[in-house]
Amino acid sequence: MSVSRTRSLHLRRIVALGATLFLAAGMSACSALKNDSSSDSSAHTIAPGKTLTVSTSFYPIQYLAEAIGGNLVKVSSVTPSNVEPHDFELSGKETAELGKADLIAYVPGFQPSLDKAVKEVGSGPTVVDLSKPANLVHHEGVEEEHEHGDEASGDASAAATDAATSESSEAGHDEHSHAEGGEEHGSDLDPHFWLDPQRMISAAETLEASFAKIDPANANDYKAGLDKLKTALTNLDTQYSTGLSTCQRTTFVTSHAAFGYMADRYKLTQASISGIDPETEPSPAELANIKSVVQSTGTTTIFTEELVSPTTAQAIAAETGAETNVLSPLESKPDRGDYTDAMTTNLDRLKIALACQ
Ligand SMILES: [Zn+2]
């Protein structure tokens, strides 16, 4: 979580570099600095014939950009593959790449290092904040919001269908401290919107609108890409709704609290070993709590994830007679297939874990 001491130096250098490139290339018809371009009218337009370059903060946003833009855009991910994005620190090289993009799409409050870099990239890139269309919310475990009241809280359709799991959410409650890393956003919002296909659709619509604004010559193609993407995401949503509608259990145990929006959408309850930040070690009391949730709910699967050590999950499984399986938080590009493939695999595994019909 520590902030690189060299970052400000990097940024100064990068901003200078970005400004030089911008002036020298003269490729943009931009006239004003713009942020949060999802709703502004001052976005750059790129020169005719130039390929739109898009820098995304991490994989699910990369997936959206590629699906919308296809061959018309050049998309990169700031967070490399197989790197856990939560506390990823941008190097000078990564910050330089950021400053050269036509468009940056990200979720503020999730990656503090990226938040700072975005603020200092200068007037080059159009910056698209996807936290707004994704409609981020607080999830249980944020002390001042939900100390005891999951069922009473507005968004907790989510919810907690039994007291044990309501308690369990407390075990995963580092959300607040993680969010404090988001500084200027003052955000204790759960960033993991991409595990809810409906929120992905909203984010995709905002991204497509920005593409069309910056590169109007290809607007029809971006719209076509969006339509196809929406069909895929809608199908995914339907599969989840149907597949998870009749299950023996509704509580699933995860490694870190990445699945809150998924739980909300499909009326499940997530109990997590770590909080919103996967680096957070559970306390002995939290461990005891999660074990009691496993036992009281008859949980048979403890989910692990690709980029976090499974040691604690394996220990809980061994002590409770459960098994482990991987449930991907999609925080990095899947080894095989894409977002929808990994989400489909997740659904299959959830259905087994919850004994769904
Ligand atoms: Zn996460």
Residue whose structure tokens are 């200092």: 120
Q: How far apart are the CA of 60 and the centre of ligand 1, in A?
A: 12
Residue 344 to residues 188, 194, 197, 209, 339, Cα–Cα distance (Å): 29, 14, 11, 27, 9
Whether this model's pTM surpasses 0.75: yes
What mean pLDDT do residues 110-132 have? 93
Please state whether beta strands 52-56 and 73-77 pair in parallel, antiparallel, or not at all (unpaired): parallel
Q: Please tell me the distance from the alpha carbon of residue 322 to that of residue 113, in angstroms, as a whole number.
A: 37
CA of 21 to the centre of ligand 1 (A): 34
Find the distance separating the first CA and the last CA of the chain, reported in whole Å: 42
CA distance 129 to 134: 9
Q: Is the pLDDT of residue 188 over 60?
A: yes
What's the 281 CA to ligand 1 centre distance in angstroms? 14
pLDDT at 29 over 70: no
Output the CA 257–ligand 1 centroid distance in Å: 7
Query: pLDDT (tens digit, 9 = 90+) per residue, 297-314?
Result: 999 999 999 999 999 999
Digit-coded pLDDT (tens) for 215-250: 999 999 999 999 999 999 999 999 999 999 999 999
In terms of Cα–Cα distance, which of 332, 343, 335, 342 is closest to 308?
332
pLDDT of residue 43: 64
Q: Kindly give the distance from the C-alpha atom of residue 282 to the centroid of ligand 1, in angstroms, as a whole number.
A: 15
pLDDT, residue 319, reads 96
What three-state secondary structure class fits 73? strand
Residue in the structure block whose two tokens are 């004994």: 355
Determine the distance separating the centroid of ligand 1 and the alpha carbon of 92, expressed in angstroms.
24
Q: How far is the CA of 255 from the centre of ligand 1 (A)?
A: 10
CB-proximal residues (5 Å) to ion ligand 1: 258
Distance 87 CA to ligand 1 centre (A): 10
Distance 191 CA to ligand 1 centre (A): 8
> How far is the centre of ligand 1, averaged over its atoms, from the C-alpha of 245 (Å)?
25
DSSP 8-state assignment for residue 186? -
The string of pLDDT tens digits covering residues 53-96 is 999 999 999 999 999 999 999 999 999 998 989 989 998 888 88
Tell me how far the alpha carbon of residue 84 lies from the centroid of ligand 1, in angstroms.
8
Please tell me the distance between residue 306's alpha carbon and the centre of ligand 1 in angstroms. Answer: 12
Counting residues of the chain whose pLDDT is more than 90, the rounded percentage is: 66
Q: How far is the CA of 86 from the centre of ligand 1 (A)?
A: 6
